[in-house]
Amino acid sequence: MTRPEASLAPNRSRTPLIALADELGFAFRRPELVRQALTHRSYGAPHNERLEFIGDAVLNCVIAEALFERFPASTEGELSRVRASLVNRDTLARLARDISLASDILLGDGESRSGGADRPSILADALEAVFGAVFLDGGYAAARTAILQVYATVWRHLDPAALAKDAKTRLQEWLQARRMQIPEYVVTELAGEAHAQTFTVECRIPALGIVAPGSGASRRAAEQAAAESAYAEAADQDDVGRRG
C-alpha cells in the first residue's frame, strides 16, 4: 500500500504520519484530517473538537458491537459497565501514550509549556479525533479495524466473569490470586472549584513497580479509573512474563 507523502505539520518529516498509520493499520489518503485531529484548540484552527465529536460516537459504536459479539451471555448492564471502562478518559489517554501520540499533538505555546501533551484530557480527545479522522477518510470498516488494533492489548485481557465487578474489586482479586498485597490508593491532586472538583489518584502496586494514575469527579471515581489502568498494566506484565 502506498503511503501518503504529506507531513503532519510544516517542517516535519513524514515519519510521524507513517508511524501513526502503522499503529492504526490504516494509510490516510487525506493527511489534512490527521493534522486536524492532532491540533489542539490552543494551537489554532481548524482544531480537533469536531473530529473528537464524531470519533467518540464511532468509538462507542465499535466497542459496543465488539462486546455484543464477544459476550453473548452478558446483560445490558454488564456490557454498559465494561464499555464505559473501555472508553473513559484514562483508558484513552493510556492507549494514546502506548502509540506515542503525545509527541505529535500540536499545542499552543502556553499549553505546551504547562505540560499539555501529557494531560489525560488532551491525549484522550486527540485519540478520539484520530478515530474520527479514520472514519471520515476510510469509512466504518477502517475505523473499526483501527480501533480494535489500538485496543488489542486491552481486549486480550477482558474477562467475561469480571464484567459485573468494578475495577477495584477486579484488581484486588487478581492480586490476591497471585498472593500479592492489595494496592494503595493515594490522592495526588485536587483541582477545581468546590462544586466541580477533579480528583487525581495513583494506584500503587510496589511488588509490580506499578504507579497508575486515574482522574474523576469524586475520589471513588478516580480510584476506579486508577484501578482500571493498574489492572491493564499488571495484566500486560503477566502476559509478557508468560510469553517470555
Residue 224 is placed in which grid cell?
A: 476506579
For residue 117, what is the DSSP state?
G
Nearest to 123 by CA among 66, 229, 52: 52
| Active-site amino acid positions | 56, 128
Q: Can you state the percent helix, strand and coil of the chain, rounding each to 5?
A: 60, 10, 25
Q: Which residue has the cell 489502568?
A: 229
- Kind plus residue range of the DSSP H or E element containing 233: helix 219-243
Longest dimension (CA), the chain: 53
Cα separation of 105 and 116, whole Å? 9
Cα separation of 88 and 170, whole Å? 17
Cα separation of 105 and 144, whole Å? 23
Q: Where are the beta strands (DSSP E) in the chain?
A: 184-191, 198-205, 210-216
Cα separation of 182 and 231, whole Å? 12
CB neighbour class for 77 (10 Å; exposed up to 12, middle 13-18, buried from 19): exposed
3-state secondary structure (DSSP) of residue 39: strand
